């Protein structure tokens, strides 16, 4: 009888044991310029568990190979950087979640990852770079979703670290106590959010936009009705998306996209635009559909025309547009509230 009970327990443990997908930090984070002295991880997640993702209806829990993440990341850095420099780097892990979501008849995997890097200098911290990743994983695109998500996590972390070695830092130092609210503290020091009126002109990147320092080599181009349609460089040639981040005309800011200029609306020390992922990052098919929608009058404009936030809500929804925030520290699109 006892033998049968033991066999049952062993069998039950085998059947119901949760499988694990480990996140392996195998990518190189070598600092080729040898300026980095150390890498310290601060795990600010309220919930330290990452989540469970299914592969062929079987649940896999995602985990790092060592639950002591501070030690794991330090070891990773030291293995790739035998000759340390003088700069102390800090990586703040703010959010890391993965899980399943029902989509029609399929179960897809979802990943959300948010993190930021700083350097420490004279007991002050300087923001360098951050990443805010949201990605869906459909079975038709990934043979092994759990492995794909684990690899993506490792890849994004290593990419952020490596990019931070050469990324320019902000000029606004903050204290250790301000790290918990770094976005509000740092963005609050930008002239962009402290000015009563924005400075007219053309901005080639977010850094110049945050400082309110337009590029004098470019000028705003308008049509006969005074509507902003693009940009001209100092040689008189028209340019539009490649070299331009934003345009300000009469104190109103417009974001440059592959198809048009979009009004930037300020809200709670942030800007947002009305657009879609398909428009901001078009494929050939998506581009054709968007072009057709614009020409067909769904929004009421033409290619290159400005679409403002007061456009008819019904038309905006019909065109597949939604509110997309612009990261106040980096200028990148933030899709985390979708």
- Return per-residue pLDDT of the chain as tens, 338 residues: 545 544 444 444 444 567 999 999 999 999 999 999 999 999 999 999 999 999 888 999 999 999 999 999 999 999 999 999 999 999 999 999 999 998 888 889 999 999 999 999 999 999 999 999 999 998 888 889 999 999 999 999 999 999 999 999 999 999 999 999 999 999 999 999 999 999 999 999 999 999 999 999 999 988 898 888 888 888 777 766 667 899 999 999 999 888 888 999 998 889 999 998 888 888 755 444 444 444 343 333 333 445 555 555 555 555 678 899 999 999 999 987 76
> For residue 301, is it within any domain?
yes
Q: Which of 17, 76, 14, 18 is nearest to 51 (CA)?
A: 18
Write out the DSSP string of 261-287: EEEPEE-SS-EEEEE-HHHHS--HHHH
Question: What is the extent of the structural domain holding 263?
Answer: 190-334
Do 172 and 197 reside in the same domain of the chain?
no
pTM here? 0.83
> For residue 6, is it within any domain?
no
- Inter-residue contact 128 to 111 (CB < 8 Å): no
Domain boundary among 185, 217, 252: 185
| Measured CA angle at 230 (ends 227, 231), to 5 deg | 125
Give the single-character DSSP code of 242.
T
- Inter-residue contact 15 to 58 (CB < 8 Å): no
- Inter-residue contact 246 to 264 (CB < 8 Å): yes
d(CA 233, CA 242): 12
Do 126 and 197 reside in the same domain of the chain?
no
Domain boundary among 148, 164, 185: 185
Q: Report how many domains make up the chain.
A: 2
Do 171 and 269 reside in the same domain of the chain?
no
Q: Which helix (H) or strand (E) holds 228?
A: strand 228-233
Q: Which helix (H) or strand (E) holds 5?
A: helix 2-16
d(CA 135, CA 113): 9
- Inter-residue contact 285 to 336 (CB < 8 Å): no
Pick left, alpha or beta for residue 89 (phi over 0 → left; psi -120 to 50 → alpha; otherwise beta): beta
Do 20 and 100 reside in the same domain of the chain?
yes
pLDDT of res. 188: 94
Domain boundary among 133, 165, 185: 185
3-state SS class at 330: coil
Token pair for 23: 């996140």
Q: Which residues pair with 87 in a beta bridge?
A: 36
Do 178 and 264 reside in the same domain of the chain?
no
């Amino acid at each position: 009888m006892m033998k049968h009970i033991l066999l049952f327990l062993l069998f039950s443990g085998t059947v119901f044991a949760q499988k694990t997908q480990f996140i392996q930090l195998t990518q190189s984070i070598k600092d080729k310029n040898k300026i980095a002295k150390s890498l310290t991880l601060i795990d600010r997640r309220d919930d330290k568990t990452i989540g469970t993702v299914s592969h062929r209806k079987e649940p896999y829990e995602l985990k790092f190979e060592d639950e002591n993440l501070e030690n794991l990341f330090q070891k990773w850095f030291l293995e790739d950087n035998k000759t340390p420099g003088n700069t102390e780097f800090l990586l703040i892990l703010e959010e890391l979640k993965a899980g399943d979501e029902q989509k029609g008849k399929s179960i897809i995997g979802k990943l959300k990852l948010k993190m930021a890097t700083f350097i420490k200098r004279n007991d002050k911290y300087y923001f360098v770079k951050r990443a805010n990743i949201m990605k869906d994983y459909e079975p038709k695109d990934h043979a092994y979703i759990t492995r794909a998500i684990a690899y993506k996590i490792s890849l994004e972390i290593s990419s952020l670290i490596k990019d931070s070695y050469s990324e320019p830092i902000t000029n606004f130092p903050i204290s250790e106590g301000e790290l918990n609210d770094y976005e509000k503290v740092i963005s609050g020091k930008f002239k962009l959010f402290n000015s009563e009126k924005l400075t007219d002109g053309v901005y080639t990147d977010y850094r110049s936009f945050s400082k309110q320092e337009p590029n004098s080599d470019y000028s705003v181009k308008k049509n006969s009705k005074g509507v902003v349609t693009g940009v001209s460089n100092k040689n008189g040639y028209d340019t539009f998306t490649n070299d331009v981040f934003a345009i300000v005309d009469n104190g109103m800011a417009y974001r440059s996209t592959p198809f048009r200029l979009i009004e930037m609306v300020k809200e709670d020390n942030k800007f947002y635009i009305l657009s879609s992922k398909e428009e901001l990052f078009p494929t050939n098919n998506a581009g054709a559909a968007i072009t057709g929608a614009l020409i067909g009058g769904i929004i009421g404009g033409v290619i290159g025309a400005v679409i403002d936030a007061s456009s008819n809500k019904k038309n905006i929804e019909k065109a597949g547009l939604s509110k997309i925030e612009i990261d106040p520290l980096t200028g990148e699109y933030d899709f985390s509230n979708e």
